[in-house]
Every structure is written in C-alpha cells, then in structure tokens.
C-alpha cells in the first residue's frame, strides 16, 4: 500500500510535539512532532512506500527531520508548487499511483487552497488507476493554554465514500440507472446501504431485460429498504434526502391498489426520466396483455400470459408465443379489421374462449377513428422502429403516442 502525505513548514518555529492518537483508539497516545510517524507505525506492515508532497521551502525546513524519523523507510518526495492547479495535481497523482494498487492518504498538512482540488483529483485518479483508497486521514489539532497540544487523527474515508454514494443515488434519481460496477471499488461495510444500492441495480437490470412485473416487485423492495434507513437518521443523514426522494417516486407508483394502474404509473415514470425504449417496450407488452385479459374476461391481473396459456387447450403454435399471437389477432382482426390475417389464425376463437362482453368493451374503447389511428401510429412510428433498430422519424411523437396508448389501456 502506498502512503501519500502532505508536509508543510509548521509555521515560524516548525511543528511542535503533540499528544497524538487515532479517533477510534483514544487511549493509544504517542508524543510526536510529525503525525506521519504515528500513521506509519500503525500501518507499517501494509505500507510499501511513503510519498511526500513538498514545496522547495518544505524540503529545506521540515522534510529532513521527517526523513530522519523514518530512516529505514522508502520515501519519495514529490515537488508540488504552492499554486498548483488541479490538472497538474492530477498528473502528479497519476504518475505516482500504482495501477490496481491500494493507497492511504493523509491530508492534514495539505495547503489551504488544496482540499477541493484534492477531492476532484483523487476521484479522477482513483478511476483512471483503479486504485482502492483504504484511508484518508486528517489530524485535528486541539490547543490548550496550560496543557500539551493534542492531535486527533480521524479517518474521513467514510465521508468520501458517502459523497460518492450520494452521486450514485443522484444519478439513479435523475435517470433510473445504476450498476454494481459503479460501486464495486467502494469501501463500505454498511449492509443497509449496500442492500439499497443492490436494489437499485436490480431495478435497472430488470428494466434492461424488460421484465415488467419484476420491476414492480423490486420497486417494493427499494421502498422497504429506504424505510429501514430512516430508522437511523443520525447515521444516514447525508443519504436520506436522496433515498427518500427515490422511495417517494416509487411509492407513487405502488400507491395504486390495482396492478394495472401501477404499470401505467411506472411507464409514465419511465417517460419522465427519458427511459424511452423501456417505456415503449413496456407499453407494447402492457397493451397486448390487457387486450387478452379484457377479451377473456375473468383473468387475474397478476397472471402471466404463460399462466393464462397453460389454462387453455392450445395447439403448439399458439401456446409457444400466446401473448404476442393472441394479442396480434385481437388487434388486427377485432380492432383494425384487416382484410388479411395468417390462415392459421382463422380458428383462433375456437381455441381461445373470448368473452362477448370483453370483445364488446374492446371495440367500444378502440372502435373510434382517433383510437385506431393512435394504435396504428404507435406501432408504425414508435414501437417497430425502437424494437427493430430503425431510426425514429419524429422523436417528439414518442412520448405523445405512448401517453395516448396508455389512455387506451387505462380505459380497457
């Protein structure tokens, strides 16, 4: 593990001795002038190299003393201009960070103008070098008039990781995207946070696989996990605003008592977040399933098309792709009244027991010219190009036609 540290001048009289200890080990006190010595002792078995950022003035004033304190340690000095910009600092980090390695940072004596530059540079270099950051130490000085100074060394890695997790949560909130690879290198041992992130990744995966019902199930799990975080507000206060925002968005979908209404709400959320391909694919599936449910009559809204097909005595050609074939027949024959349908569809109604009331309702909802034109336009302008890799001729029509289709499905 590489140990990166910043060294300053220590003021007019240099650094003074202080009672130095780690925040989680307050009883283990060492009297030290340089906290680098204390940090090194704690991780001596892990550290392979100490890299010290210094200025020319520091090299003359305090660096020799630090080197003398660690005579048998490999120390690399990195010259850093006092007015270094972010790009140059990133280059220095990239130059010295080992690929796929581990690193410890001590930012106690970093220059006053550097903290924000350091965070940007560290994140960038971390991604470019695939470095695992194990600790980010900061020594907080406590001054007393009648007692020796104290230096409490705090590991702020959790704050750094929380910042990265917040970015991921914000990303999901804005786009509904999350992948395990986004946080694989994070150092977090919090099972609740890891579970919440995993739920988001599961949701995204089910979207990518177009698993409509699974998305609703995982949305429920996301809200449950978010609720568990609210039970410890002090611990998760930095994450709660985003986890709650995500949860409220999904609760808005799940608040509808009927599965059908939940699906409509989810598709509208997808449209709002520009997940257009998912929205179109789900709308196509949703429309087809509701046509079949309405045509058949008393079918549970939670039954899959495979389960519905298993209840009917169907020939192999119809059973294999029941949802698509049956809905295509209803759309083309019963709604659009096409002159030509595949010959094997002629006996469709002898295999599938359509309900007279259901067929009547379908024709009532879709029998007007506006509804029929909406269906034709949705499939020709949106669904077919999206699902067959063609170019949309009019992108603005996608959300409009999808919303119109949802209105038709809602009425079925």
Q: Which residues pair with 150 in a beta bridge?
A: 19, 142
pLDDT (tens digit per residue) in 71-114? 999 999 999 887 777 788 888 888 999 999 999 999 888 755 55
The DSSP bridge pattern shows strands 18-22 and 25-32 to be: antiparallel
pLDDT confidence tier of residue 144, bands split at 50, 70 and 90: low
Question: What is the pLDDT of the chain when averaged over all its residues?
Answer: 90
- The pTM score is 0.82
User: pLDDT at residue 146 above 60?
Assistant: no
Q: Of 380 and 148, which is predicted with more confidence?
A: 380
pLDDT confidence tier of residue 304, bands split at 50, 70 and 90: confident
Report the run of H or E that residue 74 belongs to, with start and end. Answer: none
User: pLDDT at residue 147 above 80?
Assistant: no
Is-contact 392 385, C-beta < 8 A?
yes
Q: Of 357 and 9, which is predicted with more confidence?
A: 357
Question: What percent of the chain clears pLDDT 70, i.e. is strictly above it?
Answer: 96
pLDDT of residue 113: 57
Q: Which residues contact 80 (CB under 8 A, 6 or more apart)?
A: 6, 53, 54, 55, 89, 92
pLDDT (tens digit per residue) in 172-222? 999 999 988 777 766 566 889 999 999 999 999 999 999 999 999 999 999
CA angle, 273 then 279 then 282, to 5°:
145
Q: Which residues pair with 77 in a beta bridge?
A: 52
User: pLDDT at residue 293 above 80?
Assistant: yes
SS3 150: strand
User: pLDDT at residue 9 above 80?
Assistant: yes
The CATH number of the domain covering residues in 2-155:
3.40.50.10640
Question: What percent of the chain clears pLDDT 90, i.e. is strictly above it?
Answer: 61
Distances (CA, A) of 152 to 8, 24, 186, 203: 18, 9, 25, 42
Domain ranges within the chain, ordered by starting residue? 2-155, 161-254, 274-411
How many Cα atoms are found within 13 Å in the side-chain-facing hemisphere of 166? Answer: 12
pLDDT of residue 221: 97
181-190, 206-215, 238-247, 380-389: which has the minimum mean pLDDT?
Answer: 181-190
pLDDT of residue 170: 95
User: pLDDT at residue 401 above 70?
Assistant: yes
List phi, psi (to 5°) of 135. -150, 145
pLDDT of residue 112: 59
Candidates 376, 56, 329, 1; CA nearest to 187 is 1
User: pLDDT at residue 131 above 70?
Assistant: yes
Helices (H) and strands (E) in the chain, counts: 19, 8
Mean pLDDT (whole number) for 127-143: 87
């Amino acid at each position: 593990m590489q140990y990166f540290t910043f060294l300053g001048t220590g003021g007019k009289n240099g650094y003074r001795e202080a009672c130095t200890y780690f925040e989680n080990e307050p009883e283990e006190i060492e009297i030290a002038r340089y906290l680098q010595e204390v940090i090194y002792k704690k991780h001596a078995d892990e550290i392979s190299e100490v890299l010290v950022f210094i200025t020319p003035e520091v090299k003359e004033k305090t660096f020799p003393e630090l080197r003398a304190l660690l005579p048998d340690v490999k120390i690399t000095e990195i010259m850093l201009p006092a007015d270094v910009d972010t790009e140059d600092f990133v280059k220095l980090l990239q130059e010295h960070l080992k690929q796929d390695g581990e690193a410890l940072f001590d930012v106690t004596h970093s220059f006053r103008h550097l903290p924000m530059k350091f965070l940007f540079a560290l994140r960038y270099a971390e991604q470019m070098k695939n470095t695992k950051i194990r600790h980010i130490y900061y020594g907080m000085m406590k001054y007393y008039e009648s007692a020796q100074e104290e230096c409490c060394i705090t590991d702020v890695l959790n704050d750094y990781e929380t910042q990265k997790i917040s970015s991921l949560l914000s990303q999901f909130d804005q786009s509904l995207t999350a992948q395990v690879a986004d946080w694989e290198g994070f150092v977090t041992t919090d099972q609740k946070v890891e579970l919440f992130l995993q739920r988001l990744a599961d949701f995204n995966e089910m979207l990518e696989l177009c698993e409509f019902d699974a998305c609703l199930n995982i949305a429920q799990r996301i809200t449950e996990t978010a609720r568990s975080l609210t039970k410890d507000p002090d611990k998760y206060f930095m994450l709660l605003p985003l986890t709650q925002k995500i949860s409220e968005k999904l609760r808005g979908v799940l608040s509808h008592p009927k599965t059908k209404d939940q699906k409509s709400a989810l598709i509208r959320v997808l449209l709002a977040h520009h997940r257009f391909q998912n929205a179109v694919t789900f709308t196509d599936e949703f429309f087809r399933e509701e046509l079949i449910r309405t045509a058949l009559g008393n079918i549970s809204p939670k039954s899959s098309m495979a389960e519905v097909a298993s209840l009917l005595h169907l020939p192999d050609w119809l059973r294999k792709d029941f949802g698509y074939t049956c809905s295509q027949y209803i759309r083309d024959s019963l709604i659009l009244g096409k002159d030509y349908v595949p010959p094997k569809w002629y006996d469709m109604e002898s295999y599938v027991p359509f309900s007279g009331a259901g067929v009547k309702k379908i024709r009532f909802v879709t029998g007007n010219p506006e509804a029929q034109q909406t269906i034709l336009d949705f499939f020709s302008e949106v669904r077919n190009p999206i699902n067959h890799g063609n170019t949309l001729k009019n992108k603005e029509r996608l959300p409009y036609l999808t919303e119109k289709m949802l209105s038709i499905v809602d009425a079925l």
